[in-house]
Structure 1
Amino acid sequence: MKIFYGVQATGNGHITRARVMAPRLRAAGIEVTYLFTGRPWEQLFEMEVFGDYQWRRGLTFHTHAGRVSYLKTAVENNPTHFWRDIRSLDLSGYDLVITDFEPVTAWAARLRGIKTIGLGHQYAFPQDIPITGDDIFARNIMRYFAPATTGLGLHWHHFGQPILPPVIETPEPGPVQQNKILVYLPFEEIHDIVHLFQGFRDYQFHVYTHHYIEHKPPHIHIKQLSRAGFQNDLRDAAGVVCNAGFELACEALQMGKKLLVKPLRAQMEQLSNALALEATQLGAVMPELDAVAVDYWLKNGRTIQVVFPDVGQAIVEWLLKGEWRVDLDWAMSIWDRVVYRDPAHHTPLAVPA
């Protein structure tokens, strides 16, 4: 089997999921060509697992101060260039196209009538799941940004729908430093992040960012993005503070880290993720960067570990069968293997309703 696999690279979550899928696809004897869009080529890092991958400019969302800027998004995305990328993408000779919310691949396949599997969190949104912040613009983004003929939606909970647990692979957690907090807030201003945490001197905050700041308190550690460094800090951190994206929250839950999310304003997916975390009691939410919310969470935040099965391998086996339809019984058979437990005592917890 030969697959063309498009990955949205605006954030790191889609790439992280592709890192899990790549070795499993290769081990199954599937030949894969990867395409990454939505981020400058020079900002992609540690990409060896994807071999001789392709890159296009694609489309991306622009943010400022924790809010999606639709005006800047419209101005800075070039529709002529985007259309040229779609028309020039060569999909001949491929048996199947996978898109992880990557629009160039999705639209190139759609125009050529090629079967497309949409793999990712966004493909859960057509189902009956917790949604807020919805409007006609947000609905159209979800429907038309990277369309697929079959969606493999992923979420933290099934909500009684034919969706799957996250595709995730994390190292086993080691001994936890109770005062260590991992921070990844890429859509917030770095000075706002430092200001948020500067009063909590009993904790060590490890902040991953593209930005640099010269003056900061010694308990706030600014680090450049590195997959290995990030995973090392995640392994022994007690908690994670992040935007309400999907993949990092999955990693935090899998490793039993308490979780505090700050959703992007005017971004339906992140607002809905925050709602889902609250509804399932898997994480805490602060609508704005709020020191009072941080203080309460540091002292009272709930820690729960969600052990997800190897969903990536289940998807590879599903692909090889060639039927490519999502069956509720199949999805539920995977959810039956999810385990919820207290990470401190390794005791089972009740499954969220």
Structure 2
Amino acid sequence: MKLLYGIQGTGNGHISRARTFLPEFRKHAEVDILISGHSYDCIPGEQPDYNLKGLSYAFGKNGGIDFLKSIYRLRPLRFLQDIHSLDTQKYDLVISDFEPISAWSARRAGIPSVGLSHQASFLSDLTPRPKKRSIAGEAIFSWYAPCDYPAGFHYLSYEDFIYPPVIREEIRNLRLNLHSVPQKKLYEREHATVYLPAYHESVLMKYLKNITDIDWHVFSKTADQPGTYGHIHVYPVSEDGYLNSLSSASYVLCGAGFEAPSEAIYLGIPLLVIPMRGQYEQWCNAAALQKMGVPVIEYIGDRFCRQLSNWLSTALSLRIRFPDLTGEIAENVLDRYGSVKHVRPA
């Protein structure tokens, strides 16, 4: 059996999930990799077979999407050309982690496709949504990277095709020593690990400088090198640096993406999330997290310092030991959909 695994390159969560799933799929099939997008900071430990522009957005500096930069990067004709030129006929199955070129090419060629992503969970009406639904946001869930068969991930199993979050091995290993007495303290004081890629570090520092009870480890997409500013430490985004900080963090402050909150919940670290403006998926995640008891701040403004102080003084941990079902899910996907006959559209 030959598979094409399409990975969305906006953010690192899709890449992280692929790194976990690729070895499982390769136990049973030959796998080619396609990555599209431009906002990821790490790649699966190998070169992809296809590295395409795709469709993705650019992070802003004050909590939202940089629409001008996103539009500037948009290449609709190139996107359509990539769909038509990608030869999916040579594959038995296409697996897409919300990657649009592989998904649309499979649909065009009549190749069965599986949506193996967090976004696939929103194809169920039972997954939480914010009070005000977005028509455009719901359409993106259905049509950005369409699939024949969804296999989604969410904090809770709202429907039978929705699985628990995929927790990477590095995080599972962290948990082994997280609650034991460390032999050597990495950091002098308690600290919060901060990952808010839609905010520039200068915006965050404006507020964090006023909260001096703990240190703040801010991981920034725009920082070129580490810098220390009193009790605030700014780091470029890197896997090792983030894991080192997270291993002894007392708190996590992050966006309402899927992977970072899932990892904090798995580790039992008190969590506060701020969803990106204009990113409907994050507002859906925030609605789910709020129902689970995780505090949510809608935006950073004049009340932010007070909100942070209140959170630090009352923060409670939510710990869920998400099981590792990666091998089981990979086998289920191949058993159920790997033998589906190709049906070329009329």
| TM-score, structure 1 normalization | 0.84
Secondary structure of residue in 2 paired with 1:130: coil
- Aligned pair partner of 2:278 in 266, 282, 300: 266
Shift of 1:216: 6.1
List alignment gaps of at least 5 residues for structure 2: 180-186, 340-346
1:131 aligns with 2:143: no
| Counterpart amino acid of residue 112 in structure 2 | K
Note if contact 2:41-2:238 (Cα within 8 Å) is conserved in structure 1: no
1:237-295 per-position Cα deviation (integer Å, ceiling 9, x unaligned): 112111100011111111111111000112211111111111121x2111112222211
2:308 maps to 1:294: yes
Amino acid at match of 2:127: I
- Inter-partner Cα distance in structure 2 for 1:183 and 1:309: 26
Task: Give the Cα separation in 1 of the matches to 2:338 and 2:310.
Answer: 46
Q: For residue 184 of structure 1, report the CA deviation from its aligned partner.
A: 0.6
1:12 aligns with 2:23: no
Q: Tell me how far apart the structure 2 counterparts of residues 166 and 82 of structure 1 sit (CA, whole Å).
A: 30
**Which of 227, 233, 236 is the equivalent residue of 2:245?**
233
1:46–1:227 CA contact under 8 A, matched in 2: no
Give distance in 2, aligned partners of 1:228 and 1:22. Answer: 21
Instruction: Give structure 1 stretches of 5+ with no counterpart.
Output: 326-353
Q: Please say which of residues 225-234 and 69-78 is displaced more in the overlay.
A: 69-78
CA RMSD in angstroms comes to 2.2
| Deviation of the 1:165 alpha carbon | 0.7
Counterpart of 1:315? 329
User: Hey, what does 1:337 align to over in structure 2?
Assistant: none
CA contact (8 A) 1:166 1:311 kept: no
Structure 1 residue 158: deviation in Å?
A: 1.9
Match of 1:342 in 2: none
Distance 1:44 1:277, change over 3 A: closer
The 5-angstrom pairing of residues 63-212 of structure 1 reads 63-64=59-60, 65-70=62-67, 73-127=70-124, 128-132=126-130, 133-159=132-158, 162-169=161-168, 170=171, 171-173=173-175, 174-175=177-178, 179-212=190-223
Partner of 2:291: 279
Paired residues of 1:131 and 1:268 also in contact (CA < 8 A): no
Partner of 2:54: 58
| Sequence identity percentage | 34
Is the CA contact 2:191–2:214 (under 8 Å) kept in the aligned structure 1?
yes
The answer to whether the Cα contact below 8 Å between 2:192 and 2:216 also exists between their aligned partners in 1 is yes
TM-score normalised by structure 2 residue count? 0.86
CA shift for structure 1 position 323: 4.4
What amino acid is aligned across from residue 2 of structure 1 in structure 2? K
Larger mean CA deviation between 299-308 and 227-236 belongs to 227-236
Letter in 1 for 2:87: D
Written as runs of structure 1 = structure 2, the 5 A alignment for 1:17-36 is 17-26=17-26, 28-36=27-35
Provide, for residues 42-73 of structure 1, a one-character-per-residue CA deviation record: whole Å limited to 9, x for no partner: x643532x444421011112343212355653
For 1:51 and 1:74, locate their aligned partners in 2 and report how far apart those are by CA, in whole Å: 28
SS at match of 2:127: coil
Q: Secondary structure at the match of 1:98?
A: strand
